Amino acid sequence: MAPLSLAILVLLGHLMAISEANFHQHFDVTWGHHRAQIKDGGQLLTLSLEKDSGAGFQSKSQYLFGRIDMQIKLVAGNSAGTVTTFYLSSQGPNHDEIDFEFLGNSSGDPYTLHTNVFSQGKGNREQQFHLWFDPTTAFHTYTILWNSQRIIFLVDNIPIRVFSNLESMGVPFPNKQPMSIHSSLWNADDWATQGGRVKADWTKAPFVASYKNFKAEACIWNPSSASSACSPGAWQTQGLDAAGRNRIRWVQSKYLIYNYCTDRKRFPQGVPVECKQSRFL
């Protein structure tokens, strides 16, 4: 094969591993039928929630590591009882999962951003935050950066949480199962807002969340060959530099409202192993 032809094939492989924007091309509506609508030639997707049902969508591709970006505008006004999700998940009872969940609230009260990491079916690694902006008035970028060393949760490119690979210490890390991208808007008023004390006000329905500017720089999984094609980039080894560590300290000092690593009532025999290590490895 001529060197030029080989170079073109390599470039095409890289481009195939970078997915952008078009929801028709990259996602399937998995439930909710008409409550999930793809608009503007595939550039915008909206989910709506009514009393009888919400809606959700899922990526056509699976990924084994990557940087996944999605811009989301959350349900405005009185969003109590609603949950909007954006997450990665594999299949099966011993699944891996990396979660953003946005728990709605009464008008004027802040959203709760709930994060979690599952590996081999085990989660219980929750951290929750309030945001430093109103996530309902404009689109903001929510990012899951997942490589073999760590998972970084970012909001508008500001890191808010790191979960490091500590397999050497016996902590399971999601690095063997390809995952799909999922998102949904659903009714969780039995627990989402103040432990279920504040219910959804269905006179405000339909509740609507909007999505745009999806981008995945990632390793796209090919099930037939059990291998993946990866887009090159800093994401493959990215950690936190000094500026990133300063930003995450700022977020966690001002906006972190729950951290499983400090919940002594939940772990009376001692917090999990990963909690005893540097938070920002």
Our answer to whether residue 97 is catalytic in this structure is yes
Our answer to whether residue 126 is catalytic in this structure is no
Q: How far is CA 194 from CA 100, 186, 252, in A?
A: 18, 17, 21
Residue 261 tokens, joined: 């690593």
d(CA 68, CA 87) in angstroms, rounded, equals 10
Residue type at 96? D
DSSP code per residue over 226-241: TEEEE--SGGGT----
Catalytic residue among 20, 97, 167, 217: 97
CB of 149 within 8 A of CB of 155? no
CB of 198 within 8 A of CB of 188? no
Residue 221 contacts by C-beta under 8 Å, 6 or more apart in sequence?
Answer: 61, 62, 63, 64, 178, 227, 228
Catalytic residue among 101, 126, 167, 217: 101
Residue 95 has phi, psi (to 5 degrees) of -80, 160
Residues written for the chain: 281
Strands (E), 51-198: 55-73, 82-89, 97-103, 112-118, 127-129, 140-146, 150-155, 158-164, 179-187
CB of 34 within 8 A of CB of 1? no
Q: How far is CA 279 from CA 158, 167, 187, in A?
A: 16, 15, 33
| Paired strand residues for 71 | 141, 212
Residues annotated as part of the active site: 97, 101
